[in-house]
A and B are shown apart, each in its own frame.
Chain A
Amino acid sequence: MNKDPYLDMELLRFSTAGSVDDGKSTLIGRMLYDSKSIFEDQYEAIEKTSRKKGDEQVNLALLTDGLRAEREQGITIDVAYRYFATPKRKFIIADTPGHIQYTRNMVTGASTSNLSIILVDARKGIIEQTYRHTFISSLLGIPHVVFCINKMDLVDYDETIFYQIKKDIEAFSSKLNVRDIHFIPISALNGDNVVNKSTKMDWYQGGTLLYLLENIHIGSDHNHIDCRFPVQYVIRPQSTEFPDYRGYAGRIAGGVFKPGDEIAALPSGFTSKIKSIDTADGELKEAFAPQSVTITLEDEIDISRGDMIVRINNQPKVSQDLDIMVCWMSDKPLIKGGKYALIHTTNEARCIIKEVKYKVNINTLHREESDHNIGMNDIGRISIRTTKPLFFDSYQKNRNTGSLILIDEGTHETVGACMIID
């Protein structure tokens, strides 16, 4: 039975991005439809809704636009997660909104994805939201970016338009940190180059979008070098069977841990050796990101939630002063000198905004050093001082130990997504 082809598959998480109405939701609907991942009752339901609204065609965007308000307005407001599988891979899709007002929801969807599909309307070329979303994708360290030049049906499937937009994007993205970049001309509405190869664009020799999603190499997207284990919860059964058991539960944030490894616990700096790596299914010989495990140590040292277990000879930075890029998500602008709560891995602290260094001009990528006003959807570089030392890596090096969120202490809302520079 273990030969079941579905039982052991790779998982790819991807998200959509691009300006409002560029066709993100239609594309996801088209991909689900053409890969036969839509159920009959789902299709009947959106058929009925489309008919009621007087649409000529079945509106495939309704597969992800599930909220009443989204259907009324014909836009996406919040991320919708959809799932499908082909014999090659399993996919988790985050279909995100293009509207600038909902950028924070786009960031939510993109923050956990390994691949970003950025749509561009062939008639309009790159516009401010394309810049913003491309920049956010690069800031979030999403390793793979696929630009889909959409609505090719509305420009007569003209190759010169495709190549011009490609050139414009390349000029822009060369200034960014994007490892792996692709371009595909598509029509989400008609399904050209989504799952099936287009018959109208012979000039395009590359694969379809689905082909790319199935074959892109994702094996090295986690950090398996720098060992980081943020302690999430201490397990102490105090039962007759396990009277003295003391295990540190958590999800490995980087590296590979093995029993016998020499470790240090931060912030205390006490050292010990890993005695065992436990799971309910038995002990492991090694464990790596993103596994959830329980670590026991040879020595009784004081460790609690928020502490970090690391290898003695490979330690993260420890500091109360951090330089970060922040993506602001609240109507209330960031306050210089203001105090915020923060969560970093399993650690919580408070911080003060010491300095706003610059705001990024989304269109030009220029650093506006005189503009210190970071409002909703703005991205800027700031420095903070925390109430206690954090143990961190740069976001570039590790997405888990290099990210943190800022929280408004009055409302408890998450107001800032932060990527640590150093």
Chain B
Amino acid sequence: MQAYNLSHLSELESEAIYVLREVAAQFENPVLLFSGGKDSITCAHLARKAFWPAKIPFTFMHVDTGHNFPETIEFRDYYLNKLGVNLIVSSVQDCINQGLVIEEKGFNASRNALQTVALLKGVEENKFDAAIGGARRDEEKARAKERFFSHRDDFGQWDPKNQRPELWNIFNGKKNLGESFRIFPISNWTEMDIWQYILKEKIELPSLYFSHERECFIREGVVMSTGEHVPQRPEEATAKMSVRFRTIGDMTCTGAVYSDADSLEKIIEEVASTRVTERGTRSDDKRSEAAMEDRKKQGYF
């Protein structure tokens, strides 16, 4: 008999497509959180495949901190236009203007905590009952504990000590009024899986992921890009460096890595030999040992 075996990438793809279809079937008003980073682009790509030849049955929402790399926004608009989906922007700046949140000050100020408020506001205003995110369990130790279907109370909060059992491939999306779910179709993918899949599927990405020349400076050992939203101390000298980004978050908290990898093949080689996690370049995770867990408890995805 012939061996019916799937390669790991096909198995992960099949699992993610199954989860996305489950969302479309079980929820009335799901939203796909799209940041313009490689993980949310992969989710969007999987969503296209899951419902082809029909259109993707999800609204897309970008939680916009206002501190994005310009390249990210440019790519976001280009890519979603090509996909033909609807984009809603929930803006942190609006929350600040409306006095819902107060902005941090200083050189290491970040809008990361404020993101949660904009996310919850977007979910509430649009009455989304499920929000799909590109978070992966291998990214971070609190994320390693997530279910595919992550139940949130009516304040959007995660209760890690009392999660619903999730058995086999049966997903229970039932909930009471006001409650919602965060859904993570690529839970089981690693950074390497994502890159291999991007290569295999020829998925387009923002230029930031590839090696390029950029004005940078060094802060506490992290290579930071200069830019409008990134205040610089006088002693932080700027220089042109050959860098790329492993993750894309806010300009204010995402560090670059020195790299000559200007193609997917080279990036995969680099990822295979790297000795630090991609989150190692994110100062938002370094604030305290349980930074991610705390943010998730408050409603972050």
| CB-CB nearest in chain B for A1 | B265
- For A11, the chain B residues whose CB sits under 8 A away are 6, 8, 11-12
Q: Is the CB of A280 within 8 A of B4?
A: no
Of A126-134, A174-182, A288-296, A351-359, the one contacting chain B is A288-296
Asked if A86 is an interface residue, CB under 8 A from chain B, the answer is no
Complex-state Cα separation, A92 to B15, whole angstroms: 13
Given contacts A104-B165, A291-B10, A412-B174, contact A6 B272 (CB under 8 A): yes
Q: Is the CB of A78 within 8 A of B161?
A: yes
Of A161-169, A238-246, A363-371, the one contacting chain B is A238-246
We find that the number of chain A residues with CB closer than 8 angstroms to chain B is: 83
Complex-state Cα separation, A45 to B142, whole angstroms: 14
- For B166, the chain A residues whose CB sits under 8 A away are 108, 414
Q: Is the CB of A83 within 8 A of B164?
A: no
Within 8 A of A (CB), among B211-251: none
- For B289, the chain A residues whose CB sits under 8 A away are 45, 49, 68, 71
Partner of A39, one of B8, B164, B277: B277
Of B46-54, B61-69, B103-111, B125-133, the one contacting chain A is B46-54
Complex-state Cα separation, A251 to B10, whole angstroms: 13
A interface footprint on B145-189 (CB within 8 Å = 1, 0 otherwise): 101000000000000110111111110101110000000000110
Q: Is the CB of A40 within 8 A of B4?
A: no
Q: Is the CB of B53 within 8 A of A80?
A: no
Partner of A40, one of B55, B175, B275: B275
B interface footprint on A37-53 (CB within 8 Å = 1, 0 otherwise): 00111100100010000
Q: Is the CB of A80 within 8 A of B21?
A: no
Minimum CB–CB distance from B168 to chain A (whole Å) comes to 5
| CB-CB nearest in chain B for A329 | B165
Chain B interface category by residue count = 35 or more
Q: Is the CB of A1 within 8 A of B199?
A: yes
Complex-state Cα separation, A224 to B174, whole angstroms: 32
Q: Is the CB of B11 within 8 A of A40?
A: no
Within 8 A of A (CB), among B71-109: none
Given contacts A249-B21, A290-B6, contact A78 B163 (CB under 8 A): yes
Partner of B165, one of A105, A235, A241: A105
Of A147-155, A316-324, A398-406, the one contacting chain B is A398-406
Complex-state Cα separation, A403 to B280, whole angstroms: 40
Partner of B170, one of A69, A104, A404: A404
Partner of A78, one of B145, B172, B276: B145
| CB-CB nearest in chain B for A306 | B25
Asked if B24 is an interface residue, CB under 8 A from chain A, the answer is yes
Q: Is the CB of B54 within 8 A of A235?
A: yes
Partner of A235, one of B51, B141, B160, B276: B51
A interface footprint on B7-45 (CB within 8 Å = 1, 0 otherwise): 111111111011001101100000000000000000000
- For B199, the chain A residues whose CB sits under 8 A away are 1
Q: Is the CB of A237 within 8 A of B54?
A: yes
- For A251, the chain B residues whose CB sits under 8 A away are 14, 17-18, 169
B interface footprint on A309-346 (CB within 8 Å = 1, 0 otherwise): 00000000000000000000100000000000101111
Minimum CB–CB distance from B166 to chain A (whole Å) comes to 5
Minimum CB–CB distance from B72 to chain A (whole Å) comes to 24
- For A294, the chain B residues whose CB sits under 8 A away are 52
Q: Is the CB of B176 within 8 A of A224?
A: no
Complex-state Cα separation, A140 to B49, whole angstroms: 32
Within 8 A of B (CB), among A251-282: 251, 256, 278-281
Given contacts A280-B49, A403-B170, contact A85 B18 (CB under 8 A): no
Asked if A236 is an interface residue, CB under 8 A from chain B, the answer is yes
Asked if A407 is an interface residue, CB under 8 A from chain B, the answer is yes
- For A40, the chain B residues whose CB sits under 8 A away are 275-276, 280
- For B293, the chain A residues whose CB sits under 8 A away are 66-68
B interface footprint on A371-405 (CB within 8 Å = 1, 0 otherwise): 00000000000000000000000000001100111
Complex-state Cα separation, A355 to B204, whole angstroms: 57
Q: Is the CB of A219 within 8 A of B165?
A: no
Partner of A90, one of B8, B145, B170, B277: B8
Given contacts A10-B8, A67-B142, A305-B25, contact A81 B188 (CB under 8 A): yes
Given contacts A4-B268, A39-B276, contact A400 B168 (CB under 8 A): yes
Partner of A403, one of B3, B167, B196: B167
Complex-state Cα separation, A92 to B6, whole angstroms: 15
Asked if B200 is an interface residue, CB under 8 A from chain A, the answer is yes
Q: Is the CB of A67 within 8 A of B160?
A: yes
Q: Is the CB of B160 within 8 A of A414?
A: no
Given contacts A39-B275, A82-B138, A237-B54, contact A412 B176 (CB under 8 A): yes
Partner of A232, one of B6, B7, B22, B48: B22
- For A82, the chain B residues whose CB sits under 8 A away are 137-138, 144
Asked if A190 is an interface residue, CB under 8 A from chain B, the answer is no
Asked if A189 is an interface residue, CB under 8 A from chain B, the answer is no
Q: Is the CB of B161 within 8 A of A67?
A: yes
- For B7, the chain A residues whose CB sits under 8 A away are 7-10
Q: Would you list the 8 A-B pairs with minimal beta carbon distance, nearest first? A: A66-B141, A280-B52, A412-B174, A280-B49, A237-B54, A41-B280, A292-B17, A11-B8
Which residues does B use to contact A, with CB under 8 Å? 1, 3-15, 17-18, 21-22, 24-25, 48-55, 137-138, 140-142, 144-145, 147, 160-161, 163-170, 172, 174-176, 187-188, 190, 192, 196, 199-200, 265, 268, 272, 274-277, 279-280, 289-290, 293
Task: Give 12 A-B pairs besides A249-B21, A405-B165 with Cβ atoms closer than 8 angstroms.
Answer: A6-B268, A7-B196, A8-B8, A9-B8, A41-B276, A83-B188, A235-B51, A237-B53, A251-B17, A251-B169, A292-B21, A412-B176
Which residues does A use to contact B, with CB under 8 Å? 1, 4, 6-11, 39-42, 45, 49, 63-64, 66-69, 71, 77-83, 85, 90, 92, 104-105, 107-108, 111-112, 219, 222, 224, 232-233, 235-239, 241-242, 245, 247, 249-251, 256, 278-281, 288-292, 294, 305, 329, 341, 343-346, 399-400, 403-405, 407, 411-414, 417
5 contacts between A and B (CB under 8 A): A1-B265, A4-B268, A108-B167, A233-B51, A414-B167
